Amino acid sequence: MREIDWKALHLEAISAMKRAYAPYSKFPVGAAAVVDDGRIVSGSNVENASYGLTLCAECGLVSALIASGGGKLIAFTCVDIAGNYLMPCGRCRQLLHEHGGSELQVMTDTGIKPLSELLPWAFGPEEMVRRLD
């Protein structure tokens, strides 16, 4: 298993948070992840006056992953304006599962957890394959 530099990942998430567009909530969020080929991808939240159109930092991160050649996420962190770890919402956990799987390592306030603990009984790509066969 690849050694993860969690400090560098945390700093990248903070850097992404500083680029967030959060004029309405004043709650910028940054996310960063390591890809299986060693790249780091990041994203920040992008708000919209029509709140339902707001994009989470995780959405930006996954878009950056796909735009930069794809791959599998292996380690993930998300932070607020003070650099505190944030837990992705259920929607974003599902998005992360699609691109990292249940073994994706997620930094939490209580340490590193596999996504399988944070999104039990997840429905992912392997389910689609199994059900379509």
Per annotation, catalytic residue among 58, 98, 103, 117? 58
127 catalytic per annotation: no
User: How many angstroms separate the Cα of 49 from the Cα of each of 28, 73, 91?
Assistant: 15, 31, 21
Phi, psi of 111 (to 5 degrees): 110, -170
3-class SS letters over 33-72: EEECCCCEEEEECECCCCHHHCECHHHHHHHHHHHCCCCC
Active site residues: 58
